[in-house]
Amino acid sequence: MTDHQYRAAMEKLKKELAPSRYRHILRTVGLAKHLARKFKVNQKQAMLAAAFHDCGKYDSLQTQRRHIKIWKVSLNAFEKNTPALWHAPLGAVLARRHGVRDQAVLNAIRRHTTADSNMTKLDMITYLADALEPGRRFPGISHIRRLASRSLRQAFREALRLKMIHVLQQGNPLHPKALAAWNSMSGRQNL
Q: Where are the domains of the chain?
A: 3-185
CATH superfamily ID and name for 3-185 = Hypothetical protein af1432 (1.10.3210.10)
The parts of the chain modelled with pLDDT lower than 70 are: 1, 187-191
pLDDT in tens, 58-75: 778 899 999 999 999 999
Q: What is the pLDDT of residue 15?
A: 85
CA–CA distance, 51 with 68 (Å, rounded to integer): 20
When computed from its CA atoms, the radius of gyration of the chain, rounded to whole angstroms, is: 16
Q: What is the pLDDT of residue 1?
A: 65
Residue of 81, 98, 70, 73 lying closest to 2 (CA atoms): 98
* Burial bucket for residue 106 (CB in 10 Å: 0-12, 13-18, 19+): buried
Q: What is the pLDDT of residue 190?
A: 45
Residue of 73, 91, 103, 89 lying closest to 17 (CA atoms): 91
> In this structure, which amino acid lies at residue 67?
H
Q: What is the pLDDT of residue 191?
A: 44
Q: What is the pLDDT of residue 187?
A: 59
Q: What is the pLDDT of residue 69?
A: 93
